[in-house]
Amino acid sequence: MRYKPKPPPRFQLAMTPTPIEVFSLTPAPRSGVEIFIKRDDQTGSELSGNKIRKMEFILYDLISKKSDVIITCGGVQSNHCRVVAALAARIGLDCELILKGRSTSLPDGNFLLDKLFGAKVRFVTEREYERNIEGILKRRARVFQKRGRRSYIIPEGASTSLGIWGYFLAGLELKKQLDKAGIKADYIACAVGSGGSYTGLYLASLYLKWPVKILGFAVCRDTDYFKSKIIRLAKQFLENYKLDLKPDPSEIIIDDNYIGPGYAKIGRMEADFIKKVAVNSGIILDPAYTAKSMIGLFNYIVEKKIRKKSVVVFIHTGGLLSIFPQRGKLFGR
């Protein structure tokens, strides 16, 4: 492995390295494709999932800037917002969440924990969110500024050049684990919701000169949006941290065919898939990210978009808590 770059300061909060497990299920046994799962759903409990890797760096930054209120955004069942709310409660800072969607009479899943952690919540429509979430966040920051507060805005999914360090280092961690186990990966597969995790993994592969293809399955927005955003984030990261790497847009693989009914929404097909995986493997896939990306991966194997006898590492980004509000879809009630 090449010399490890010195990352910015952070609080080491995630339980890492997360394990890699054999995934016994396959949609095409004769393909010879092996699937391993990187269990980033096991980074913690309240702080579980991929977002805590990013937040280790961002939390250090916001504390160093003497911020006293955190403002961020996401869907009603956002894993990111739950992690931010938990961290804010731990360090005694106010937290305001701008959530896309509608309030529910009885909080559930991640939203229940947001409320338990004492986060203040504001709801906006999906149209308002998609058209102007950056403007909404800045407007709320100005309100706090007029009150003499120091607010810190965290964009959707903590996908900033600072947050990318989380999955850049996760990529190095993954390669080290695979090398130690004697596993040669041909593909890495992951969900893409804000682009930061994919960007970090891709940059790690460039840094290591690792000829692995990274398959990203979009869970919202389209391929063009994410390819453009990932290249933009990559360039910002490389400029900010003086790394001499050359990202190539042609290497960014994002498939937007598995969004299904919409972000964090599932239909009968996704619900049946989640149940079949659970009963046959003991692993829970979440409705927003991992279920849709695993469906995409299975289809790639069936359609022979993945070469025979390849090795795939699937990144399980967490999301267990968001399964509970989907009980009606899962069991027809």
Residues with a catalytic annotation lie at: 78
Of the candidates 189, 236, 216, the residue with the CA atom closest to the CA atom of residue 34? 189
- Dihedral sign (CA 241, 245, 250, 251): negative
200 Cβ contact list (under 8 Å, min separation 6): 164, 165, 166, 167, 168, 169, 170, 171
Of the candidates 84, 299, 90, 54, the residue with the CA atom closest to the CA atom of residue 170? 54
Angle at 70 between CA 65 and CA 71, to 5 degrees: 130
| Start-end of H helices in 117-222 | 126-146, 164-181, 196-208
Phi-psi region of 203 (alpha: psi -120 to 50; beta: other; left: phi over 0): alpha
- Which two three-digit tokens encode residue 307? 């070469």
Q: Determine the distance from the C-alpha atom of residue 42 to the mean position of all C-alpha atoms in its chain, rounded to a whole number.
A: 13
What is the rounded distance in angstroms from the CA atom of residue 191 to the CA atom of residue 198?
8
What is the rounded distance in angstroms from the CA atom of residue 313 to the CA atom of residue 285?
15
Name the CA radius of gyration of the chain, rounded: 19
